[in-house]
Amino acid sequence: MAKIDEVAKAAGVSISTVSYALSGKRPVAPDTRRRIEKAVRELGYRPNAGARMLAGSRTQIFALTEPLRKDTHAPTHMSFVLATAVAARRHDYDILLLTDEEASAGMGRVAASGLVDAILVLDVAPEDERVALSRAIATPTVFIGVPNDHEGLVCVDLDFEAAAALAVDRLADAGHVRIGLIGQPDVAYEKSNFPPRLRTAAERRAGERGIRLSWRTSGHTHSSRGRTRKATGELLDEGATALLIHAADDAHTAAFAEIEARGLRIPEDVSIISVAASFDTATLSVPVDTIPLIPDASCGLAVELAVRSVSGDHLEPGLHLIPPTYVDRRSIAAPSARTETPIS
């Protein structure tokens, strides 16, 4: 059976234009429509194949588009996939997982075939190719993440800006005037939406509180023990008396090792907050305060919104941001005389 991308290629148009023409959601030029209709006939493409052949029926399946790349941090991403699947089962829905690195291709296919009732979008990039397609298709779509261009979309996410501000405030209130931020690997600031949002918000809040904040990444494509230890040492040498860590669990372990190697203690000499951690920081060798990123919360809300949309509720486009919560594990103290350095 022909696929929507084959129709688009034969007609010389984009997948989204084929979706516009078939769904009637937006006007398409008459000549373009004729080329698409000709390609559909010649290729035998059936946009309403499968379980949707009976008008108005539901498939009880949601598509989850989660492109898997070589730089994907599998434990974090799979925690969101699992949370989505569990939430869907609570509503008697199954999940069709789309892992193609060319994310819009699979999304276009399932939208055109009518095999799913709604689409959930994970691993959202700042400039995400799935944004344009979501606007073109009739299938309800919910983003778990916030792309730069989110006008007209339904998006669910942790309020990373509020989380960053909360973390900076906790350290500022404890008396710290120099803070280091150890962030995600380099690639995350190019392909993911939330690391730059958190970093920018932390820098902004630090400026408002009169704090000097410096930051380093924890690796190139993955967290690196050597890179993280080097970053930790550089931040401490610059006078940081507290660290915000927005990285995987192994980056925390590497930072702890560098602190210990210098004869410093947590929190007596170095205060630490783990920001937007998707793992339990109580299991680390040194339990640290955290503002958790809870997959169950964001994925559960996204599934609920998708179910509401399929059930006929009109969802107003907009951001559904989950307020941050703070978990105190006593890893913050006032700066010690041993590490305190006045701002010059």
Q: Specify the CATH number for the domain of residue 33.
A: 1.10.260.40
Domain assignment present for 337:
no
CB 148 within 8 A of CB 92: no
Q: Are 170 and 271 part of one and the same domain? A: yes
Whether the pTM exceeds 0.95: the reply is no
Domain assignment present for 61:
yes
Q: Residue range 171-177: average pLDDT?
A: 98
Q: Are 61 and 151 part of one and the same domain? A: yes
Domain assignment present for 343:
no
Q: Are 19 and 133 part of one and the same domain? A: no
Domain assignment present for 211:
yes
Whether residue 269 has pLDDT greater than 90: yes
Q: Residue range 291-303: average pLDDT?
A: 96
| CATH number (domain holding residue 265) | 3.40.50.2300
Q: Are 187 and 167 part of one and the same domain? A: yes
Domain assignment present for 333:
no
pLDDT band with cut points at 50, 70 and 90 for residue 1: low
Q: Are 128 and 186 part of one and the same domain? A: no
Percent of the chain's residues with pLDDT above 70: 91
- Model pLDDT for residues 214-238, shown as the tens digit of each residue: 999 999 888 889 999 999 999 999 9
Whether residue 72 has pLDDT greater than 70: no
Which stretch of DSSP H or E encloses residue 88?
Answer: helix 74-90
Report the distance separating Cα 260 and Cα 148, nearest Å: 40
Q: Are 138 and 233 part of one and the same domain? A: no
Domain assignment present for 224:
yes
CB 62 within 8 A of CB 93: yes
Domain assignment present for 188:
yes
Q: Are 185 and 259 part of one and the same domain? A: yes
- Check residue 52 and give its pLDDT: 41
Q: Are 75 and 86 part of one and the same domain? A: yes
Q: Are 164 and 285 part of one and the same domain? A: yes
- Model pLDDT for residues 33-44, shown as the tens digit of each residue: 889 888 888 887
Whether residue 54 has pLDDT greater than 60: no
How many domains does the chain divide into? 3
Q: Residue range 5-23: average pLDDT?
A: 81
pLDDT band with cut points at 50, 70 and 90 for residue 177: very high
Domain residue limits at 259: 160-292
What's the chain's average pLDDT? 89
Residue of higher predicted confidence among 170 and 27:
170
Sorted by sequence, the CB contacts under 8 Å of residue 221 that are 6+ apart come out as 70, 71, 185, 186, 187
Q: Are 148 and 167 part of one and the same domain? A: no
- Check residue 191 and give its pLDDT: 83
CB 259 within 8 A of CB 286: no
Q: Are 170 and 317 part of one and the same domain? A: no
Whether residue 271 has pLDDT greater than 90: yes
Q: Are 172 and 279 part of one and the same domain? A: yes
**C-alpha radius of gyration, the chain, whole number:** 23
Domain assignment present for 334:
no
Residues 15, 18, 22, 25, CA torsion sign: positive
